[in-house]
Structure 1
Amino acid sequence: SPEFTVDKPYVNFLIGGGDHPADSPGPTALELLVDGEVVRSATGKNAEALETASWDVQDLAGKKARIRVVDDNTGGWGHLNADQIALSDTRARPGAQETAVNLIVDGQVVRTATGSDSEILDRASFDTRPYLGKEARIQLVDMNTGGWGHILADQFTAADAPALSALQRAGWADYGKDYYAAVSWENAPGGKRYMIGWMSNWDYAGAVPTSPWRGAQSIPRQMALRTVDGRVRLTSKPVSSVKSLRQASPATATAGIVTNTSKALAGPAADGETLDIEAAFSLKDAERFGLKVRTGTAGEETVIGYDTTAQELYVDRTRSGAVDFDNTFPGVQSAPLRAVNGKIKLRILVDRSSVEVFGGSGEAVITDQIFPDPAAQGVQVFAENGSVQLDKATVWHLDSAHR
């Protein structure tokens, strides 16, 4: 494209075609170039349908840029579809799918859901909190002419709590994207049960930006059955020997109220790539609160938070560093977690390319890979739309487990 100035915070566009990222052999990609370097890239999903996508370019404000379309693939899906590329003050919201249920507010699709290639009706919900008091419409879209060219929908109701799908109602050993093929040991000393998982996902296992290795094992975990909220739950916690990796003189945060802000948890002493963090909060009126790890320039961060309305622990890795190598990688993973006596406890293991988060008594666990800039080592505490009480937080730097 001709050169242009980045004078708005987002570049919105439609994209379809082959799934061949810019760093793959024979890429099919839409790229944003600054000073001749590729700073953003997007590819298709092996589908002809144009889907809404967006780049956050706030860190590039004022710079000169170009758009480049790359189509070097000669195999299947050897083409790229792109349209309606525009700078915008707002991030583009998901558009109508080929078969979808959409929520429309002010003429815009603000929430969308589609089926799972099954005739079985399953529960789903839209979070409508941002649109309370607004007029809305439900739209059913059926534009598909191929397989599964239909959508089934029923029982639309407003509610105070979200409906949970069958997957959400299951009690998962780990709610993250990167805890797979877990293996446990029987007859361990003391009759304990230990388990370890592969920290990766077949959606992008071959595309993660690491070399020469790809993937790692989780920290070994001690498993147990506990009664939580009147239900027997499978829980897990890091094996006690992890504490032997802790270095002396941990960083300790000052207890106090955190209100509508993100700030350093305990100063530079808490910053690092490999950390073991224990934190406890008392609920007040904040909608969301928690910790941000591996924070750095240009808004890089991995957010580990608690949503008080949904009563969920979550990990948001959408701005965790390198996230554009596969379109299924960026996102938010959540796990149900109820406060106990108005308190939330967290244990967080941070490594160079992963976070393992244990909430409560280990009934809510999320394991996610992250690929931050090595310089992104900050740790922050945050609260959104209100206040939370930070009761305590201790950060240990960890030695390597390899001797």
Structure 2
Amino acid sequence: MMAWLVSALNPRRIAGQITLLVIASVVLSQILISVAFFLLLPPPREMDRERRDAELALVVDIVGDVAKGAPSAPASELLAGRYPWLAVSTELPSWATVAVTNDAAAAPILSSRDDVTMYRRDKQTGPRSDFALRFDNGMVLVASGLPDIPPGPPVGARLVVMFGFLAPMLAVMTFWAVTVLTAPLRRFTEAAESFDVNREHKPLREQGPDEIRRAAKAFNSMRDRIKELIDERTQMLLAVSHDLRTPITRLRLRTAFIADETARAQMERDLDQMNAMLRSALSLIRDERNDPALSPIDVASISQTVTDEFVELGHAVSYEGPDRLVCPGRFDDMHRVLTNLVDNAVRYAGSVVIRLRYGDNGGIVLTVEDDGPGIPEACRETVLKPFVRVEDERPMRPGQGFGLGLSIVRSLVRAQGGRLSLHDNTPHGLVVRIDLPQLPAHSSGPGNS
């Protein structure tokens, strides 16, 4: 929950911007409403006092309009149920001895009547709020023990209650904005990150706001065009590579009739090199197109096997790591990856070490380290592209590749969910690092080893 809240409040994300916009707009509108409420409307206690004075003014008008000489009992009974603190009689109470003039507090009650005389109880004999009104018609209205108007809740309490209702509403609106409005963008991002030209993908759902629907439609169209272009390029390269084999075969047959042995040998070497280049190109194309399912493989066993194969050939290759470490992958592809890397390393280095360990943030780290000349940092990303070599540091030699080895290795690593990177070794040399995903906890051992 906390992670979701931090993500939702990140202003660098659309979800965070929407969240802050919702919060700012709701809080600002609530502040304006609150200011208007507290400034323009009187406090609740004043409103209750005004309401009571209006009712008293109505009672005064009713009693004052009673016919002269009429009995006071009916009027007193009428008021007893609604206003038990009011009484109607024809006699003034004993404390009503001095008439009051210009009583500001009584002005709203008397309604500018000139047929009434008002008496206030002296504070020494009782509550100062008690009063008596004597009308010219002989009626006397006595108010004794007026109910006290309780103070309204303090401003702070009202604010707490107000924001108590505001907070859940704000949380619901924010959750709706973050989850519903950003869901199409999240699906869009996931589709873009998982896009692979070698796999079939379901079309991205074109739903949500108009802009998101248009973007999803454009993304689906772009993905189809990219896949179509890659397929056309692959078919063209396959056709060209296949067609070139025929003239190479004819040239090889013709070289047999060359009398000069030196010239014939040079021609055969050139033809061998051309044929090897075609095989490398076809291998790269097949690796990009081939995408069988992943299964648990023992990377430690494969590393030890490759080490033993090169040691038997007389190379100084060693392995450091656990006896068993399983991850999702393809046995043949991983064997080929390590074979290519070690074969490339032993050409330029005196010793090679294969290391295998668990990564700091999960996953598996597989490295091939040599003590050769290494690769300049500026060229490391370039040499991972097809047909690219670092010719200054590693000049072309007989039997050497054509700059496809690292490209094929990176393609195989990516197909297994991994990532390949090049680094410096200490004190000199190259470190080829492969980060592989770790096998889920519920999976068992390798299916092929």
What's the TM-score bracket when you normalise by the shorter of the two chains?
under 0.3
- What is the TM-score of this pair, normalised by structure 1? 0.23
Larger helix share, 1 or 2: 2
| Higher RCO (Cα < 8 Å, 6 or more apart) | 1
Larger strand share, 1 or 2: 1
- What is the TM-score of this pair, normalised by structure 2? 0.21
